Amino acid sequence: MPLAAPTRWQPPLLHSQRLRAALGLPHLSIKSDSLNPTGSLKDRASAVALARAAELGAKRVAVASTANADSSLAGLAASMGIPGAIFVPAPAPRAKLVQALMYGADVFAVQGSYDDAFQLRLQACEHCLCVYGTRKWVLPLFW
């Protein structure tokens, strides 16, 4: 499934006159995350993380996730030609795992919790180019 490179897409702003009037916000605009490249609400954050990974010359990206972040990162990374590794707890939604696999990511279903998947991701990335000191998926590890 081809995607536009993260720097080349921008979901349109939607305008709802009734919502503007009801809230008293005459300039209110809405972004529809369903129009993002992978259809995930995580695409904007993934695009930022992947742009930084590209700047750093990352050869691969990895994320620990339970649903939307994995398919988002996998799809956008594939569109940039960067391989992705996804670490998820085994009970993660199958549809999201299939989506990540369709984008070509390596998916590792971890027997345990999200924290276990996160720790395994850290172990797999011990020799990475850049590590961000956060538990948030939005700043994945690059190597």
Question: CATH number for the domain including 51?
Answer: 3.40.50.1100
Residue 68 lies in a domain: yes
In the chain, how many domains are there? 1
Residue 24 lies in a domain: no
Residue 114 lies in a domain: yes
Residue 29 lies in a domain: no
Residue 98 lies in a domain: yes
Residue 47 lies in a domain: yes
Give the span between the Cα atoms of 97 and 106, in whole angstroms: 10
Under 8 Å between Cβ of 122 and 135: no
Could you read off the pLDDT tens digit of each residue along the chain, which spans 143 residues? 445 455 556 778 889 999 999 999 999 999 887 888 888 888 888 888 888 888 878 888 888 888 778 888 899 999 989 888 889 998 888 887 899 999 999 999 999 998 998 888 888 877 554 333 334 444 455 54
Residue 9 lies in a domain: no
Residue 37 lies in a domain: no
Parent domain of 103: 42-142
Give the span between the Cα atoms of 142 and 94, in whole angstroms: 25
Per-residue model confidence as pLDDT tens digits over 64-77 = 888 778 888 899 99
